[in-house]
């Protein structure tokens, strides 16, 4: 294919204004309804990954701060939150949902600044879904006896929640909304590189008049997280992140009564059958792997394409990839934003380079990457075999591995040949084939003729080493309730 045949649309810059956000020069910890300075006075910076400019300094919570936060959550659980009539509890969640909608643009801009994701995605996906998650769970608060956990289910208590940097506010919503609706109180630690929307969410809790201590937000790193996991005052851990850390958490709580919800890694197969609508499938492949720079645990990172349509699919995919606009995340026309951190960029480079070394063929469209910040071009590898690292390891970046199959049975075997089981995609025009395939895929979310769709009503979570439990929908409540009659 000659890339010059692809017309390059020139767009005038259309940056979203940052005047809507007011980032403070430094932040404290949100404990017991107030922002307080960390006891040891330690702070760390958070930067804009698209420019490497320092955005703010946030508090580093050590053990003493974790103690304070857990105590505040315990006190709020015992004295306030578990005693409140469920319908009133629900009203606080409705309030939070509404305030998130009111301040949606502010959250979207802040998320893009701190995370590097395109404003189009933070504005149209992350923030609306986060608000919807609170609205959905608000309505559950006084209907829990219908949740399938017995007539009289009970909250678990104080929940420690640790979330990743890829969807900072959305993951916060996935964690806090069900926990609060079911009557638990929380101590939440946002990711080290993306703390700002969680801290802005603390302001939302204040505006909503949420009782002090019901939500506590502590910033820090993995050490802070392990203090939280090991704290004897925590009854349950909810974690989204890598499978390695998820296993470490499972070991750490093995001799306690703590339960855990774990939402971990993935290496999703996106299967394209010969009868698929190829143009639509190509859109789905692009959405599957390049949405959010591929920083998605359920990303369709292994394309399994039926051998007789491989050439057509790859040619159309390359043409489509040439049209991906990479650059300033605040620009409304940007498709692919910045990689979230230098560390993540190094990891993407390291695993991708193994693809070259192991004999796969790399292709990226010509594209100019900004000088400052962390960037990686949209990339596909063809000629990938199942034993290659790029077919097995979660890259968590805009890198797609292409494998082929001849028969549906072979597609299933290759798709399931992974310790992960979070998601998968199926593209075909034949209903019975779609259902046959969906039935055999060992994964928690199957997108058929679509990809990367999320909804508060729809349970999300993985088979095998992709984690424990589900988030969202009625199924997501089970992780925050003790069954009771």
Kindly state whether residue 473 participates in binding other proteins, applying the rule CB under 8 A.
yes
Kindly state whether residue 247 participates in binding other proteins, applying the rule CB under 8 A.
yes
Kindly state whether residue 416 participates in binding other proteins, applying the rule CB under 8 A.
no
The rounded distance, in Å, linking the Cα atoms of 404 and 391 is: 12
- The pair of structure tokens assigned to 187 is 């101590």
297 counts as catalytic: yes
- Closest CB 478 distance from other proteins, rounded Å: 9
Kindly state whether residue 457 participates in binding other proteins, applying the rule CB under 8 A.
yes
Kindly state whether residue 140 participates in binding other proteins, applying the rule CB under 8 A.
no
The rounded distance, in Å, linking the Cα atoms of 378 and 401 is: 12
367 counts as catalytic: no
- Closest CB 199 distance from other proteins, rounded Å: 28
- Closest CB 415 distance from other proteins, rounded Å: 13
Residues 6 or more apart whose CB falls under 8 angstroms from that of 79 comprise none
- The pair of structure tokens assigned to 367 is 């594209």
Kindly state whether residue 412 participates in binding other proteins, applying the rule CB under 8 A.
no
User: Phi-psi region for residue 323, left (φ > 0), alpha (ψ -120 to 50) or beta?
Assistant: alpha
**Part of the chain binding other proteins (CB under 8 A), chosen from 52-60, 222-230, 377-385, 450-458:** 450-458
The rounded distance, in Å, linking the Cα atoms of 173 and 456 is: 10
359 vs 484, beta carbon nearer other proteins: 484
Kindly state whether residue 132 participates in binding other proteins, applying the rule CB under 8 A.
yes
- Closest CB 464 distance from other proteins, rounded Å: 7
DSSP state of 407: S
Interface mask toward other proteins for 84-113; x: CB under 8 A = ------------------------------
Q: Is 406 helix (H, G, I), strand (E, B) or coil?
A: coil
- Of residues 217 through 246, those in contact with other proteins by CB under 8 A are 243, 246
Catalytic residue among 16, 111, 192, 263: 263
- Closest CB 101 distance from other proteins, rounded Å: 14
Kindly state whether residue 461 participates in binding other proteins, applying the rule CB under 8 A.
yes
**Part of the chain binding other proteins (CB under 8 A), chosen from 97-105, 106-114, 179-187, 459-467:** 459-467
The rounded distance, in Å, linking the Cα atoms of 320 and 251 is: 44
Which of 148, 359, 370, 484 contacts other proteins by CB under 8 A? 148
In the block, tokens 């294919």 appear at: 1
DSSP string, 31-66: ETTEEE--TT--EEEEE-TTT--EEEEEE---HHHH
Kindly state whether residue 460 participates in binding other proteins, applying the rule CB under 8 A.
yes
Which of 446, 471, 480, 481 contacts other proteins by CB under 8 A? 446
Kindly state whether residue 445 participates in binding other proteins, applying the rule CB under 8 A.
yes
Q: Can you say how many angstroms the Cα of residue 237 is from the centroid of all Cα atoms in its chain? A: 17
DSSP state of 83: T
Kindly state whether residue 419 participates in binding other proteins, applying the rule CB under 8 A.
yes
Residues 6 or more apart whose CB falls under 8 angstroms from that of 320 comprise 282, 283, 286
DSSP string, 94-109: HHHHHHHHHTHHHHHH
Cβ proximity of 268 and 299 under 8 Å: yes
- What does the binding site for other proteins look like in residue numbers (CB under 8 A)? 132, 148, 243, 246-248, 250-251, 254-255, 262, 264, 419, 421, 434, 438, 443-450, 453, 455, 457-461, 463-465, 467-468, 470, 473-475, 483
Q: Which residues are tagged catalytic? A: 263, 297
């Amino acid at each position: 294919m000659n890339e010059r045949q692809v017309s390059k649309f020139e767009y005038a810059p259309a940056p979203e204004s940052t005047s809507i956000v007011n980032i403070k020069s430094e932040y404290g910890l949100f404990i017991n309804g107030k922002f307080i300075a960390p006891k040891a006075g330690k702070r760390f910076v958070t930067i804009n990954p698209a420019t490497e400019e320092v955005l703010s300094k946030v508090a580093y919570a050590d053990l003493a701060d974790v103690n304070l936060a857990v105590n505040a959550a315990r006190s709020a659980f015992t004295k306030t939150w578990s005693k409140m009539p469920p319908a009133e509890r629900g009203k606080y969640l409705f309030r939070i949902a509404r305030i998130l909608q009111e301040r949606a643009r502010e959250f979207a801009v802040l998320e893009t600044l701190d995370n590097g994701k395109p404003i189009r995605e933070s504005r149209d996906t992350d923030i609306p879904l986060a608000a919807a998650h609170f609205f959905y769970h608000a309505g559950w608060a006084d209907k829990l006896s219908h949740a399938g956990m017995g007539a009289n289910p009970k909250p678990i208590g104080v929940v420690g929640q640790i979330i990743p940097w890829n969807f900072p506010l959305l993951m916060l919503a996935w964690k806090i909304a069900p926990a609060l609706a079911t009557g638990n109180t929380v101590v939440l630690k946002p990711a080290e590189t993306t703390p700002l929307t969680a801290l802005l969410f603390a302001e939302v809790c204040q505006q909503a008049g949420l009782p002090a201590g019901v939500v506590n937000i502590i910033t820090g790193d993995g050490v802070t997280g392990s203090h939280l996991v090991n704290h004897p005052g925590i009854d349950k851990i909810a974690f989204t992140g890598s499978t390695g850390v998820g296993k470490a958490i499972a070991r750490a709580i093995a001799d306690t009564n703590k339960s855990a919800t774990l939402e971990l890694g993935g290496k999703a197969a996106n299967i394209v059958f010969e009868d698929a609508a190829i143009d639509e499938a190509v859109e789905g492949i692009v959405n599957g792997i390049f949405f959010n720079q591929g920083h998605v645990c359920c990303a369709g990172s292994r394309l399994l394409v039926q051998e007789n349509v491989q050439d057509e699919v790859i040619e159309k995919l390359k043409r489509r990839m040439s049209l991906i606009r990479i650059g300033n995340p605040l620009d409304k026309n940007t498709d692919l934003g910045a990689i979230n951190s230098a560390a993540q960029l190094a990891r993407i480079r390291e695993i991708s380079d193994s693809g070259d070394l192991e004999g796969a063929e790399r292709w990226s469209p010509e594209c100019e990457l900004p000088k400052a910040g962390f960037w990686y071009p949209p990339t596909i590898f063809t000629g990938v075999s199942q034993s290659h690292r790029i077919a097995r390891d979660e890259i968590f970046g805009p890198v797609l591995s292409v494998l082929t199959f001849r028969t549906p049975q072979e597609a299933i075997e290759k798709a399931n040949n992974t310790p992960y089981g979070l998601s998968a995609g199926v593209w075909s025009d034949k209903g019975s084939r779609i259902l046959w395939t969906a039935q055999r895929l060992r994964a928690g979310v199957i997108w058929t003729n679509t990809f990367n769709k999320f909804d508060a009503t729809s349970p999300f979570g993985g088979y095998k080493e992709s984690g424990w439990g589900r988030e969202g929908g009625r199924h997501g409540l089970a992780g925050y309730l003790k069954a009771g009659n």
